[in-house]
Chains A and B, each alone.
Chain A
Amino acid sequence: MSKKIGKQTVRLAEGVVILSAASIVGPKEAEGPLSKYFDQKVEDPFFGEKTWELAESKFVEKNMELAVQKANLNPKDIDYVLCGDLLNQCTGSSFGIKNLNIPFFGLFGACSTMGESMSLGAMLVDGGFANHVLTGASSHFCAAEKQFRFPLPLGTQRPPTATWTVTGDGAVVLARKGEGPKIVEITTGKIVDMGVTDANNMGAAMAPAAAALLQAHFEDTGRTPQDYDVIATGDLGTVGRQLVVELLAKEGYEMDSRYTDCGIEIFDDATQDTHAGGSGCACSAVTFCAYFYPKLLAGEIKRMLFIPTGALMSPTSSQQGQPIPGIAHGLVIEGCKKGAN
Chain B
Amino acid sequence: MDTTKKAQQEYDKMVKQASPNSPIFMNCLKAFISGGIICIIGQLLSNFYTGKDFSKEEAALLVSITLIGLSALLTALGWYEKLGKFCGAGTIVPITGFANSVVSPAIEFKKEGMVFGMAAKMFIVAGPVIVYGTLTSMLVGLVYYFVK
Cβ contact within 8 Å between B80 and A155: yes
Stretch of A73-81, A123-131, A157-165 that contacts chain B: A157-165
- Taking chain B's interface residues, is the majority helix, strand, or loop, or is none over half, making it mixed? helix
Cβ contact within 8 Å between B108 and A151: yes
- Least Cβ distance of A191 to chain B in Å? 10
Cβ contact within 8 Å between A153 and B18: no
Cβ contact within 8 Å between A201 and B15: yes
Closest-by-CB residue of A relative to B124 is A151
Q: Which of B19, B82, B87, B91 contacts A161 (CB 8 A)?
A: B19
- B148 within 8 A of partner (CB): no
- Least Cβ distance of A340 to chain B in Å? 39
Interface size on B, residues (CB 8 A): 39
Known: A155-B80, A155-B83, A242-B18. A208 touches B111 (CB 8 A): no
Chain A residues contacting B20 (CB-CB under 8 Å) are 160-161, 239
Report how many A-B pairs have Cβ atoms within 8 Å.
97
Cβ contact within 8 Å between B91 and A155: yes
- B134 within 8 A of partner (CB): no
**Chain A residues within CB distance 8 Å of chain B:** 50-51, 146, 150-161, 192-196, 201, 204, 208, 211-212, 215, 239, 242-243, 246-247
28 CB < 8 A contacts A-B: A150-B125, A151-B107, A152-B81, A152-B104, A153-B75, A153-B76, A153-B107, A153-B108, A154-B84, A155-B75, A155-B81, A155-B83, A155-B85, A155-B92, A156-B92, A157-B27, A161-B19, A192-B1, A193-B3, A194-B3, A194-B7, A195-B3, A195-B12, A208-B3, A239-B15, A239-B18, A243-B15, A247-B14
